[in-house]
Amino acid sequence: MSRLSVSMLCFLLALLTPTNLTSATGNIGFSLPLVSSHHKLNHTTGEIGELLLPEGDVNPMNIRPRVAPAGWPMFSVVVGVGSGRGQHFYKLALDFVGNLTWIRCKPCTPEEQQEGPIFDAALSPKYALVKPTSIHCKPPFVGHGHDKCSFSGTTSLAVVQGYLASDVFTFGDTGTGHRSLGGLIFGCAHRADEFWNHGIVAGAMSLNKRSTSFKYQLAGHGFDTSKFSYCLFYHGQHTAKHGFLRFGSDVPNHDHAHSTALMYHDTTMLYFIGLEGVSLNGQRLTRINRGMFSRDQARKHGGTIIDVGTPETRMIRAAYDILEAAVVADLQHRLGVRRAGYRVPGSHLCFVVSIHGIYQKLPSITLHLAGGAQLTIKWDLLFVTKMHHGAQHACFLIFPDEKMTVLGAAQQVDTRFTIDVDHRLLYFAPENCGNDSS
Ligand SMILES: *[C@@H]1O[C@H](CO)[C@@H](O)[C@H](O)[C@H]1NC(C)=O
Ligand SMILES: *[C@@H]1O[C@H](CO)[C@@H](O)[C@H](O)[C@H]1NC(C)=O
């Protein structure tokens, strides 16, 4: 997967803390708030803007992290990292691909801006390096000298390098205080390249299926992370809004949602789904077949995953080329709109649009998934307006990819997704995601 820099909004996700989470019964639901970069984050207290709990929806057994915009379409959570004087609250981008939750640590190159100070391990008394002899220091992590265990990773968010460490993480809200968990393993990154953090985000929170992801580490503390759910929303002008990343019993009922199997192909621990075909405006593109989207396990190539850390959907080249030709033909024949004969920065496919009112006529796309489920992505999540050389363009938000297909964040907006890891199912249903925010 390659990386894209798109500057608009960014979302972040934080953990809300409950009052009494003493038992480790393994069935405690909780949520993390998804919040906005426009929310002013107090790095000492973890307070975000004027956060309000949704009325009538407060279960003392739940922690409910906020998900907030930080740069479009990046979605993040707010967590406290460190102990003593070293503790600060940060916005960490949500990610389903990385093997590890990581944060930029002092010293970190290149030196780039973020909200809050760079994490300084020297000021955090509970900070400890993971030793090469630790059970956690196993592939993909590698022992380094006598006392360190190194990690490196490439995701859509960044190319990072550093050492495994453990420290206190704090999931907090404005009202009821904080919930701190010690000994959580994370990556202290001393290099973070190609990290388009919008000057805000300090790292990433990984929720993939590896044992070092926070999904498993939080389960080890008695939280139910067997399933999680989120509903990304378009931030628009409502800068005070945030959503939630919900876990376990805090996940809304999904009886009426569509579902498709999560596939477990290999050691990458990603959330694979079975994409079988594509329709444009309800018409199946018959030249696109399921073989184009299947995973070659031996070569670790191809396949389709869902990820919030990938800003826009990417489609394997063979299928993308057919889709692109169909989109170009549709816009030309049905709307009389022509493809721009030049490159518009940051885009792959753009159309010159001079006529008002044409947007509502732009096509939708349906993804046909294993088991018969269909995910329809409406035109407003498929095209973005761009001015270039004084002319208005509608630019396509699906990009070709040489390695695999990724359902990215921008095309997930206004659909609730629930990843039920235990039952190996992905549920999804259209929702006005602004309703899961406050
Ligand atoms: C953060 O909150 C603390 C405690 O309420 C307050 O003393 C401090 O001034 C706040 N910091 C900022 C930057 O608002
Ligand atoms: C995660 O680890 C696996 C090896 O176990 C590796 O193939 C994969 O590239 C790693 N993922 C990232 C994002 O670095």
> Which residue has the CA at smallest separation from atom 2 of ligand 1?
45
> Which residue has the CA at smallest separation from atom 10 of ligand 1?
42
How many whole angstroms separate alpha carbon 143 and alpha carbon 214? Answer: 21
pLDDT at 170: 87
Task: Give, for all 438 residues of the chain, the pLDDT tens digit.
Answer: 333 322 222 332 222 222 223 333 446 677 776 754 545 676 777 666 543 333 333 333 344 545 554 456 678 888 899 999 999 999 899 999 999 999 999 999 999 899 889 999 999 999 999 999 999 999 999 999 999 999 999 988 899 999 999 999 987 654 455 788 899 999 999 999 999 888 889 999 999 888 788 888 888 888 888 899 998 877 654 544 667 888 888 898 888 999 999 997 667 889 999 999 999 999 999 999 999 999 998 898 999 999 999 989 999 999 999 999 999 999 999 999 999 999 998 899 999 987 777 888 999 999 999 999 999 999 989 998 888 888 888 999 999 999 999 999 989 988 999 999 989 999 999 998 877 665
* Domain assignment of residue 124, yes or no: yes
pLDDT at 390: 87
Contacts of 283 (CB under 8 A, 6+ apart): none
**Distance, CA 152 to ligand 2 centroid (Å)?**
9
How many whole angstroms separate alpha carbon 397 and alpha carbon 395? Answer: 6
Q: At 92, which CATH number? A: 2.40.70.10
Question: What ligand has the least distance to the C-alpha of 300?
Answer: 2
Residues 308 and 176 in one domain: no
Residues 376 and 239 in one domain: no
pLDDT at 295: 94
Q: Does residue 45 line the site of ligand 1, with CB under 6 A?
A: yes
Write out the residue range of the structural domain in which residue 52 sits. 12-250
* Domain assignment of residue 18, yes or no: yes
What does pTM read for this prediction?
0.85
Q: Does residue 40 line the site of ligand 1, with CB under 6 A?
A: no
How many whole angstroms separate alpha carbon 233 and alpha carbon 275? Answer: 24
Residues 119 and 185 in one domain: yes
Q: Does residue 97 line the site of ligand 2, with CB under 6 A?
A: yes
Tally of domains within the chain: 2
Contacts of 341 (CB under 8 A, 6+ apart): none
| Interstrand relation of 88-95 and 203-206 (parallel, antiparallel or unpaired) | parallel
Q: Does residue 158 line the site of ligand 2, with CB under 6 A?
A: no
* Domain assignment of residue 3, yes or no: no
Residues 105 and 32 in one domain: yes
Last residue of a domain, one of 250, 269, 293: 250
pLDDT at 261: 97
Residues 341 and 283 in one domain: yes
pLDDT at 28: 67
Question: What ligand has the least distance to the C-alpha of 115?
Answer: 1
Residues 346 and 273 in one domain: yes
327 burial class (0-12, 13-18, 19+ CB within 10 angstroms)? buried
* Domain assignment of residue 134, yes or no: yes
> Which residue has the CA at smallest separation from atom 2 of ligand 2?
140
**Distance, CA 41 to ligand 1 centroid (Å)?**
10
Kindly give the number of the ligand 2 atom that is closest to the alpha carbon of 99: 1
Residues 270 and 145 in one domain: no
Last residue of a domain, one of 224, 250, 276: 250
pLDDT at 197: 86
Residues 211 and 310 in one domain: no
Question: What ligand has the least distance to the C-alpha of 49?
Answer: 1
**Distance, CA 133 to ligand 2 centroid (Å)?**
20
Last residue of a domain, one of 231, 250, 269: 250
Residues 283 and 241 in one domain: no
23 burial class (0-12, 13-18, 19+ CB within 10 angstroms)? exposed
* Domain assignment of residue 6, yes or no: no
How many whole angstroms separate alpha carbon 90 and alpha carbon 65? Answer: 13
> Which residue has the CA at smallest separation from atom 1 of ligand 2?
99
Any idea which residue has 């949704």 for tokens? 54
Among 267, 295, 310, the mutation site with the greatest number of ligand 2 atoms within 8 A of its Cβ is 267
Residues 245 and 295 in one domain: no
Residues 269 and 229 in one domain: no
Cα–Cα distances (Å) from 361 to 66, 78, 321, 380, in that order, read 35, 38, 22, 10
Question: What ligand has the least distance to the C-alpha of 102?
Answer: 2
**Distance, CA 201 to ligand 1 centroid (Å)?**
20
Hey, how many other C-beta atoms are within 10 angstroms of the C-beta on 379? 15
